[in-house]
Structure 1
Amino acid sequence: MLEAIRNRAQGIFAWVIVGLIAIPFTLWGINNYMLDGGEALAASVNGEEISTREFRSAFLSYTQQLRFLMGASFPEEMLDDPATKQNVIEGLVEQRLVLDTAAKLGLGMSDSSLSQVIRSNKAFQGESGQFDSQRYEAVLGSQGLTPVAYEARLRSALLSEQLVSTLRLSAFTTQQEVEAIARLQQQKREIGYSIVPSATFRDVIEVSADKVRQYYDDHPEEFRIPEQVKVHYLRLTADSLATDIPLDEQTLRDFYEESEDQYRVPERRRASHILITVPPQGDEATRQQAQEKAEAVFERLQQGEDFEEVAKEVSDDPGSAQKGGDLGFFGRGVMDPAFEEAVFSLEETGALSEPVLSKFGYHIIKLTDIEAGEVKPFEAVSEELAQRYRRQIAEEQFYEQAEILDNLTYENPFTLEVAAETLGLSIETSEPFSQNGGSGIAANPKVVAAAFSEEVLREEMNSQTIELAPNDVVVVRLDKHLLADTKPFEEVREEIEEKLTLDQAMAQAQERGETLVAHLQQGESPETVFKEGGEAVWNEKKLYARDDQEIPSEVLKMAYELPHPESPENPVFAGQPLGSGDYAVVGLYRVENGNPGKLDEKARRSLAQEMEKAHGEMVYRDFIQELKSKADIKIYTENL
């Protein structure tokens, strides 16, 4: 199996499908191998260690990405969730196994291929869209990486992805499987249902003070506050410096003259063309035939035939032919060089070019409009100029002041006040945060690591200067060290009372629902069981597809998991608690399978691709399980 993988994993397809590698993945997904000795272990894979530092970095990055995606809905309890920690460490173990396998298979990547991936990453490109080496180093520096370290990690990530992609692309599906899945996907089910609302029972529930206190005493882990710190900090940014830079009109006009070329709008031209293609593998005779056809078309135009009509009739460019050959406006550097030279050599609108040969074939070009180049006037760009000027000066000042900040906080390790007074900065204070991070600057893993370091936490010294982003640095020192504790009873009393009330309401809704289901299963009709005016209303049976929005999704999912009824006269009834705390009673009357014959070719192809993707994921998971079964893996849960 491994030999087959190796044979298929050659070539450039791996990093083509990787595309633009996301920086966060390469920063934590492929781990840090340059670690100090003596650290506690999170896991080991075939004797190769995964340190707790690697795990914390991976866990922090994972939860921060979720926090960014979920915003205010991010569940803070996830930071202490053992299952989340287990998922992260399992991911690190899998990555190590895949990397080891890639190395054994001899998979490799040339320097030129690695360079191509880096240069295509938009994060490293300047405003011109070209790779910018200074930006490259600045972005890496903001993540605490050198180019050498980043490139080593990226190479590992690409090799890993090369193997993983090969596995996933090895799957295939048959026509019979597609039709079987189509029957299931397009299946409809006749469903009747009712919801027993838990809210109905809330008003009659009373929770005693003793029960609230007892719950608090019996579940201390639910109210545990992890070890936290608050830090004072000085933050220096180029943006903050820019707001204080004075600027008068003469300075701004001088800056405008220096940077006038940046505000020059280049000439653009609009053209239409008729393309007579020349196949890339065509011989000289084929090319000659295309040229003769192009010359005949050019002669027709010279004799007065309408360009748009001729383009619609003979042009081989499907994108423009139906528009009479119109290509719209474009500037230099966009089109094929030979084509572009011909367009910009035409002197007036309406002019035609003789047949021009490009890599696509022969073009007859008509110039239809010209937008002359111009320089934007000072008044039109003054605001942008002011921003650019202040940003430029601020960046020059930033490096000088950042060095002063670094020196003063190092020379005065037990205070931030000297640096604050010298640089005119305000000492700010964070909200409490744990080793899993927090908000503001505490969302940055480097700040969290510094705050809980021996230097800051135990010795109460200033941290080293931490680069949060390009032109954005911070120095932190301890304000308060908050040991792990339990929230006081009075602070959580109402929360516990609400939880116990909900639990009892849910239990009573479930008890009521189970009674209703029992009556239905004994043969009583829904009309009898769900009497008008009761706490639950029966929704009459109706056909629902898998993705139907007219029925609660949990009810629909439940109905699609029920066994087929013997007949519509003998429906299957069942009940289930819902995530809301309510209770669902469901009846399934009949099942109507989909018809694969109604799938058009596009839908059939799309379904086959979905199935191949799912099969590929199964192949990958099976491969990982095979590696795990043969590996010596130890996970130190107590250190996570």
Structure 2
Amino acid sequence: MLQALRNKIHGWPAAIVLGVCVFAVAFFGIESYFVSRVDTYVAKIGDHEISQQDWQQRLNELRQQAAQDPRSPFTAADLEKPELKQRVLDGMISQALLQQANTDLGLAVSDASVRSAIGSDPGFQVNGQFSPEAYRAILSMQGMNPGMYEAKVRASLATQIIPEAIANTTLVSDADVDAFFRLRLQQRDLRLVELPRPSLTDASVADADIDAFYKSHIADYTTPEQVSVQYLEVKQSELKVGEPTDEQLHAFYDKFKQRYAQPEQREASHILVNVPKNATPDQQKAALEKAKKIAAEATPENFAKLAAENSDDLGSKRGGGDLGWLEKGVANAAFDTALFGMKKGDITKEPVLSPEEGYHIIWLRDAREGDAKPFAEVRAQLAADWTKNEGERLYNERAGQLADLADRNPGSLEPAAKELGLEIKTSPLFGRDGGPGIPSDPKFVAAAFADDVLAQGNNSSLVQVDKGDALVMHLAKHNAAAPKPLAEVADAVRQRILDERVDALAKKQADDLVAQLAKGGDITTLVKAPVRTLAGLERSKLAGINDVPPAILQGAFTLPHPANGKAAWTTVQTGNGAYALVAVDKVTDGDPSKVEKGQRDALRGQMMDAMAQAATLEYIQALKARGEIKIAQDRM
């Protein structure tokens, strides 16, 4: 075949064709003939892509949070809804826009801010202090190293730089606070008349009306869909953990010795003079001279002021440069060496240069020496910690086995029950709104009505209904939603028709009375019911009033002010088809001068937070409008 090709490639036509091919390969690149680009992003913001992997990882993190936190505002099943998936993606897009804005504005998160965030995380603390050993152990359990976690923290902090800057520049004036308290403490004088519920002169209902009402409201007379499930449950509290041996306790003590010791610590503040990446010699010299000048001026008395005015570490400057208590290994090597070589009260006279940051002026405010407790002294605590740790290990192991067996045998719980010696329990019938007992847990209900259990007949994945309590389930019975027979609900339908007739009559009577009052009619003449007066009704003190219908109290401060000193009557539905007539006779604004400073300051803070959040959302919306954003709905 190759020989035949050679025989045909002769003469000037073949040379032209070959030349064109060579030109095409040279111009476009040979890789374009072999490699085709396939887009996999879910969203693209400028040049930044949010991959399907990143998006799914975020969804998985939220699913895990929902499974572990009973107070979560959403369940794992909710995250399968398109609208919630879109909200998650919108949040990731907002974060990407903020990070791009940081780059455009030259904003970055310092190493000191990352250290501060990690050091203050209670999850990495032992006896209220940061523990490097606990930090590394926890990260190891999560399949991460310190570098990976620090990058994650840095990315999280980066999305807070601009929102924090907006919050720090948000102002709420005294006039704004006064306006709120004038409304909050406002008082109103009301008159009200509760109208008696009318009676029907004709209480007959035709069979045809009952039939028509039943058909038009069939959903109200339908037995809801219900299921019953079998389930296997693993509870940490029911697992038996034996008494630890001395050998086990000694091994536990050696592994977690840091928990039972007070490590050497230093309480420090610092001022950072940033040195830009790829700084020129002139920039480095300028930064060093600035740092030396600050160091020469620094004293314990003025250090916080100098930090607030000069430090480039946004995370600590607002606190006067305070870094809190630090242990060895938390800071970078240069900072660490300088800090632990100082005496209490010292301020470095020569700035300390650390990579990736710049020059530090350090003030050692206090020091704690390390203090290890002997094994015998902490044996009781060791035994308790070992028992708790062993219980968690056994539970995780058992729950993992349950999940694995249920997944390998999706059509039945029997193999898992037999292997693990667990009892198969059966729930009562319950609907999508749950029921008594274990179906009252939203996570349990969501798993039972999930597609893999309800439609496909498979075992569920592991459901974490509470900390230390997990289960898998299998559908036992499914009752589809079905209308109740008309004969069974006819009396209820008849009563509902009569109630609606009474409601309509009550509204007409109330509206007619308001129309007559507007024409100058007298309330005491038109209405036989007593007229009540409520004087000095205060917006902030409605909770303690029990003898007035809640609907009147709720609407009292939305009713119109008296016009030209004349009150206008209006109708208020008070529940169960009953109505009241209400008039506002007087409105007195609250007096802000009587509010204590603490309350004013608390309100100012809340208003600033709310305004800062609104301003941040507006800023993000502006970034979205200005940027180029593509969303691949088909990949969601």
TM range (shorter): 0.5 to 0.7
Does structure 1 retain, via aligned residues, the 8 Å contact 2:226–2:480?
yes
Q: Work out the CA distance in 2 between the residues paired with 1:542 and 1:448.
A: 50
Q: For residue 571 of structure 1, report the CA deviation from its aligned partner.
A: 1.6
Question: What letter matches 1:102 in structure 2?
Answer: L
- Aligned pair in 2 of structure 1 residues 147, 610: CA closer, same or farther (>3 Å)? same
Compared CA separation, residues 597 and 406, structure 1 to 2 (3 A): closer
Q: 1:95, 1:160 within 8 Å by CA — same for their partners in 2?
A: no
Number of equivalenced pairs? 475
Between the aligned partners of 1:60 and 1:206, the Cα distance in structure 2 is 58
Residue 593 of structure 1 is matched in structure 2 by 589
1:354 aligned partner: none
> Normalising by structure 2, what TM-score?
0.54
Matches within 5 A, 1:223-234: 230-234=228-232
User: Which residue is 1:548 aligned to?
Assistant: 541
Q: Which moved more, 1:101-110 or 1:430-439?
A: 430-439
Asked if 1:120 is matched to 2:120, the reply is yes
CA, structure 1 residues 557+457, in 2 after alignment: closer, same or farther (shift >3 Å)?
closer
The one-character-per-residue Cα deviations of 1:553-579 (angstroms, maximum 9, x if unpaired) are: 6434534334432444x2222223246
How far apart, in 2, do the equivalents of 1:157 and 1:202 lie? Answer: 66
Structure 2: gaps (5+ residues) = 1-38, 261-298, 304-342, 346-363, 367-373
Pair member with larger Rg: 2
Hey, what's the Cα distance between the residues in 1 that align with 2:85 and 2:503? 35
The offset of 1:102, in angstroms, is 0.5
Per the alignment, do residues 522 and 230 of structure 1 end up closer, same or farther by CA in structure 2, a change over 3 Å counting? same
Q: Secondary structure at the match of 2:540?
A: coil
Q: Is the 8 A contact 1:191 1:589 kept in 2?
A: yes
**In structure 1, what is the Cα distance between the partners aligned to 2:508 and 2:526?**
15
Written as runs of structure 1 = structure 2, the 5 A alignment for 1:11-410 is 68=71, 88=84, 91-92=87-88, 94-106=90-102, 108-109=108-109, 113-114=113-114, 116-118=116-118, 120-122=120-122, 132-133=134-135, 136=138, 158-196=157-195, 211=209, 213-220=211-218, 230-242=228-240, 280-281=300-301, 359=365, 394=391, 397-398=394-395, 401=398, 405=402, 408-409=405-406
Gaps spanning 5+ residues in structure 1: where?
1-36, 267-278, 284-336, 340-357, 361-372
**Contact in 1 for aligned 2:214/2:493 (Cα 8 Å):** yes
Letter in 1 for 2:471: V
With 541-550 and 387-396 compared, the bigger mean Cα shift is at 387-396
Deviations 1:419-463 (A, max 9, x none): 323332101234567899888489576995697465x56664545
Please list the CA deviations of residues 169-199 of structure 1 after superposition, one character each: whole Å capped at 9, or x if unmatched: 433233444444444444332221233365x
AA matched with 1:235:
E
Q: Does the aligned pair in 2 maintain the 1:189–1:588 contact within 8 Å? A: yes
Report Cα offsets for 1:15-34 as digits up to 9, x if no partner: xxxxxxxxxxxxxxxxxxxx
> Judging changes above 3 Å, is the alpha-carbon distance between structure 1 residues 115 and 48 closer, same or farther for their aligned structure 2 residues?
same
CA contact (8 A) 1:575 1:584 kept: yes
Q: Structure 1 residues 468, 548: closer, same or farther in 2, change over 3 A?
A: closer
Deviates more, 1:188-197 or 1:54-63: 54-63
| Map of 2:518 onto structure 1 | 521
Q: For residues 217 and 111 of structure 1, do their structure 2 counterparts lie closer, same or farther at Cα, with a shift above 3 Å needed?
A: farther
Question: For 1:619-638, what aligned pairs fall within 5 Å after superposition?
Answer: 619-623=615-619, 626=622
C-alpha deviations, 1:71-115, integer Å up to 9, x for none? Answer: xxx9x9xx99xxxx8985774465244223202212654676456
Shift of 1:589: 1.8
> 1:192 and 1:229 mapped to 2: Cα distance?
52
Question: What percentage of aligned pairs have identical amino acids?
Answer: 25
Residue 471 (structure 2) pairs with residue 479 (structure 1): no
8 Å CA contact retained: 1:58, 1:88: no
Per the alignment, in what secondary structure is the counterpart of residue 560 of structure 1?
coil
- CA distance 1:505–1:109, change in 2 (3 Å): farther
Residue of structure 1 equivalent to 2:414: 417
Go from structure 1 to structure 2 and tell me whether the alpha carbon gap of 1:464 and 1:591 turns closer, same or farther (over 3 Å shift): closer
Give the Cα–Cα distance (whole angstroms) in 2 for the partners of residues 579 and 506 of structure 1: 10
Question: CA separation in 2, counterparts of 1:89 and 1:561?
Answer: 37
The Cα shift of 1:218 comes to 2.0
Provide Cα deviations, 1:111-158, integer angstroms capped at 9, x if missing partner: 7645643553445656766564588469979xxx99999988766654
1:573 aligns with one of 569, 576, 599: 569
| 406-415 or 230-239: bigger deviation | 406-415
Query: Given the superposition, is the C-alpha separation of residues 611 and 146 from structure 1 closer, same or farther in structure 2, using an over 3 Å criterion?
Result: same
Q: Work out whether residues 510 and 581 of structure 2, in 8 Å CA contact, stay in contact via their aligned partners in 1.
A: yes
SS at match of 2:239: helix
Partner of 1:366: none
Letter in 2 for 1:528: T
Equivalent AA in structure 2 for residue 547 of structure 1: S
CA distance in 2, matches of 1:44, 1:224: 46
Compared CA separation, residues 591 and 457, structure 1 to 2 (3 A): closer
Name the TM-score, length of structure 1 as normaliser: 0.54
Query: 1:447, 1:149 → 2: CA distance?
Result: 37
CA distance in 2, matches of 1:197, 1:69: 45
Sort the Cα spacing of 1:638 and 1:397 in 2 relative to 1 into closer, same or farther, 3 A.
Answer: closer
2-structure distance, mates of 1:496, 1:64? 45
Pairwise CA distance, 1:594: 3.7
Distance 1:504 1:56 in 2: 52
Please show how residues 3-14 of structure 1 align to structure 2 within 5 Å. none
Deviation at 1:538, TM superposition (A): 1.9
The alignment partner of 2:517 has SS state of helix
* Cα distance change on mapping 1:411 and 1:639 into 2, 3 Å: closer
1:469/1:180 Cα in 2 relative to 1: closer, same or farther (>3 Å)? closer
For the residue of structure 2 that corresponds to 1:561, the secondary structure is: coil
CA contact 1:224–1:484 (8 Å) conserved in 2: yes
